[in-house]
Amino acid sequence: MAFAPSSTTSPARGTPRDVHLPDTARDLVKILVAGPFGVGKTTLIDSVSEIRPLHTEEPLSEASAQVDDLAGVRDKSTTTVAVDFGRISLPGGVVLYLFGTPGQERFRALWDDIAYGALGALVLVDSRRIDASFDVLGLVEESGLPYAVAFNTFPDSPRHHTREQLRAALDLEAGTPMVTCDARDADSSVDALLALVQHLIDRNVSEDAR
């Protein structure tokens, strides 16, 4: 099954969201939305979720400022301390349950619990601070989860890097999907998730053919 770019937006913020699964639901899939602190995981889940998202955000404190790298995210005032959760239905009866993971090293102990049962991960990356993504990518790779990388765009994101340079900077394998998205935009975020889902489907087809 191939997926085309989405043109379906999530419900507008502030409007009621249906908590019931659609009648067309066939495949229920757990997906992680991973990435470093301040990369846009909460924003992406909020932009696409067809139910009211669950957020576990707390204000940043002076103590956390001593251990969290705020470079590039100085305007950020809150942080996820447990998990973000949302749900989105895709064409073909596929329903994604989205679990956003904390991006700081001190929450590493939560990783195994949150990752349990997941089929794949969408890793958000900020091209202004690529090195901040190495620890998260290491966790995803250690877990053996298939993943796709989405570069979340910010107003001051550098535009001069080529795709080859970005792939080399993250040391990604050739088959790892790499896309650009705007986590604030539902269609753009859905397209990033579709790239991951298509990757999962292609992997399963390849394994079945062996």
Per-residue pLDDT at 133 exceeds 60? yes
Query: What is the distance between the alpha carbons of residues 90 and 74, in angstroms, rounded to a whole number?
Result: 35
Out of 51-60, 168-177, 201-210, give the one with best mean pLDDT: 168-177
Residue 19: per-residue pLDDT: 72
Q: Checking DSSP bridges between strand 78-80 and strand 57-59, what pairing results, if any?
A: antiparallel
Nearest to 88 by CA among 34, 33, 157, 151: 33
Residue 179: phi and psi, rounded to 5, are -130, 170
For the chain, give the number of residues. Answer: 210
Which residues share a beta bridge with 94?
27, 90
Strand order in the sheet with 147-152: 84-90, 94-100, 27-34, 120-125, 147-152, 178-181
Out of 33-42, 68-77, 156-165, 185-194, give the one with best mean pLDDT: 185-194
Maximal CA-CA distance, the chain: 54
Global pTM? 0.82
